[in-house]
Amino acid sequence: MQIEVVADKAALGEVAAERILQAYDAGALQVLGVATGGTPISTYRELARRSDGRLHDIRLAALDEYVGLPADHPGSYTTFVREQIAEPLGIPHGQVGVPRAEADDLAAAAANFERQLQENGGVDLQILGIGANGHIGFNEPGSQVDSRTRAVTLADRTRRDNARFFDSPEDVPHEALTQGIGTILEARSILLLASGARKAEALARAMEQTPTAECPASWLQLHPAVFVVADEAAAASLSP
């Protein structure tokens, strides 16, 4: 795993957006895998600013979606991807794939999402954030390296951390549909973003500990093309 440490979240967004545009301009970006949450927002903002509409022909594939929220709920990841990524980049609705966690049959929705990823040729570049407990997507501690898209129960810590996106902490769903670790590792390249002191311990475990299900992000060490962009606060616990 290679890493670039930058001063703060704004610089992180600039570096990450530049890498995404380089991939696109080199003809190596048809499907962009997108994380939601707070960390990548500066990246999406920079991407919209720098791309001048030229990313309108790519596809977006989301990592995850809450179970139990209507897709048009303000806290849903379907809403996030539409408002923060697709609309600013001018990407039409038909080019956006988010796991359909509203479906009655979640196993079928998961299988369908995997099939669509395959049909679209797989993810060229996957953007990831990291949870304070080491999760990627919603693969919480205990997630195995060969896991696929599936329904999962969110860790209490994850629900607490994500309460800021909801009116009240009880509104945070207990379950999600998430790409599995095995699914994520099939992306051709991965851009892992980490910002803030709350991520320092998880990032150090992810990069330096022997890969283990206890820190799902550590499975990324098995991927040949992971690039990490971290701000100084998130990089503070890495070995010199």
Interface with ligand F6R, residue 33, by CB under 6 A: no
Residue 52 CB, nearest approach to ligand F6R (Å): 26
Per CB under 6 A, which region of 9-17, 32-40, 141-149, 208-216 contacts ligand F6R?
Answer: 32-40
Residues 135, 155: Cα–Cα separation, whole Å: 10
Please report, as a single letter, which amino acid is at residue 28: A
Interface with ligand F6R, residue 13, by CB under 6 A: no
Interface with ligand F6R, residue 37, by CB under 6 A: yes
Tell me the residue length of the chain.
240
Given 129, 134, 173, 216, the residue binding ligand F6R (CB under 6 A)? 129
Interface with ligand F6R, residue 136, by CB under 6 A: yes
Per CB under 6 A, which region of 15-23, 103-111, 125-133, 183-191 contacts ligand F6R?
Answer: 125-133
The set of catalytic residues is 64, 133, 135, 140
Tell me whether residue 3 or residue 41 sits nearer to ligand F6R (CB atom). Answer: 41
Interface with ligand F6R, residue 35, by CB under 6 A: yes
Interface with ligand F6R, residue 131, by CB under 6 A: yes
Tell me the CA distances in angstroms from 75 to 27, 45, 67, 167, 172, one per residue in order: 33, 19, 11, 9, 9
Binding positions for ligand F6R, 53-72, rule CB under 6 A: 63-64
Site residues for ligand F6R per CB under 6 A? 35-39, 63-64, 129-131, 135-138
